Chain A
């Protein structure tokens, strides 16, 4: 156990930053790229997870368990958000018979 923590320190924290930035940017591009609402929700999950990974990395490098508690809370909020989001998606499919995000442009008014 002692060896695992000291071995992973050989990976610089910048590499975790880079990985997390790439995952977040892929999620952001996916939200803008796709029209299917369910894929947009999945890209949101991807962005949540990149932030979670970065918080955990900082927490491990800082020797502070507080960051991991925050990741736990983010997971809770993500679970609640997905539940409500999928319920909205089911209702949207029922009402307008489509999951196309462009169908929701009536929300502008």
Chain B
């Protein structure tokens, strides 16, 4: 059963590499959708069912459709796009690799996880997460709705055509 983890992990890493290396933006979006679906599989394996559903709805349902819509609206699907200089690209890969090595070195000794609460099989279900969300984190939840409202208004303001008077 735990081989499912390695299966999903392989899919995630391969599709993430395809996101970075794909030539056309449409291929990148498709690879990112595959990556997000495999991460939803990880959530289900971790028994976080609420997060898995929210992840599929928000990311693959809303955000990636928004990306696809913008790519189609702006007609960005060129075959040849300008590349950065070779030195910049090499240094980008080196920077990512060095960052990975730093993170791995920081956690080389392994981690000791002491469970904060007794084992509970319903930890990621809707009822448990909902209780935590509406009891302990009620104020951030309400503030995030204000954030959404301001993001919506900001996006509409940015998207409006500018008047000629400016």
**Chain A residues within CB distance 8 Å of chain B:** 1-2, 4-5, 7-8, 10-15, 17-19, 21-30, 32-36, 38-39, 41-43, 45-46, 49, 52-53, 56-66, 68-69, 71-73, 75-84, 86-91, 93-94, 99-100
Specify which chain B residues have a CB less than 8 angstroms from the CB of A82 in the assembled complex: 63, 66-67
Contact of A68 among B48, B95, B140, B148 (CB under 8 A): B48
Q: Are A38 and B67 in contact, CB atoms less than 8 angstroms apart? A: yes
As a 0/1 sequence over residues 7 to 46 of chain B, the CB contacts with chain A under 8 angstroms (1 = contact) are: 0010011001101100001001100100110010011011
Chain A interface helix/strand/loop/mixed: helix
Given contacts A7-B1, A21-B100, A87-B159, whether A42 and B116 have CB atoms under 8 Å apart is no
Question: Which single residue of chain A is at the shortest CB-CB distance from B70?
Answer: A86
Specify which chain B residues have a CB less than 8 angstroms from the CB of A64 in the assembled complex: 116-117, 123
Q: Which B residues from 89 to 128 make CB contacts under 8 A with A?
A: 89, 91-93, 95-97, 99-100, 103-104, 107, 110-111, 113, 115-124, 128
Contact of B165 with A by CB under 8 A: no
Q: Are A25 and B96 in contact, CB atoms less than 8 angstroms apart? A: yes
Q: Are A19 and B12 in contact, CB atoms less than 8 angstroms apart? A: yes
Between-chain CB contacts (< 8 Å), 11 pairs: A8-B46, A23-B12, A60-B46, A63-B119, A63-B120, A72-B51, A78-B63, A79-B58, A81-B151, A87-B154, A91-B158
Specify which chain B residues have a CB less than 8 angstroms from the CB of A59 in the assembled complex: 48, 123-124
Q: Are A45 and B113 in contact, CB atoms less than 8 angstroms apart? A: no
- Give the complex CA separation of A52 and B54 in angstroms: 12
Q: Are A73 and B140 in contact, CB atoms less than 8 angstroms apart? A: yes
Q: Are B96 and A71 in contact, CB atoms less than 8 angstroms apart? A: no
- Give the complex CA separation of A65 and B49 in angstroms: 12
Chain B interface helix/strand/loop/mixed: helix
Q: Are A65 and B32 in contact, CB atoms less than 8 angstroms apart? A: no
Contact of A61 among B96, B115, B161 (CB under 8 A): B115
A80 to chain B, nearest CB (A): 4
Question: Which single residue of chain A is at the shortest CB-CB distance from B1?
Answer: A7
Q: Are A8 and B147 in contact, CB atoms less than 8 angstroms apart? A: no
A65 to chain B, nearest CB (A): 4
Specify which chain B residues have a CB less than 8 angstroms from the CB of A32 in the assembled complex: 88, 91-92, 95-96
Given contacts A42-B67, A64-B117, A84-B154, whether A79 and B92 have CB atoms under 8 Å apart is no
Contact of B166 with A by CB under 8 A: no
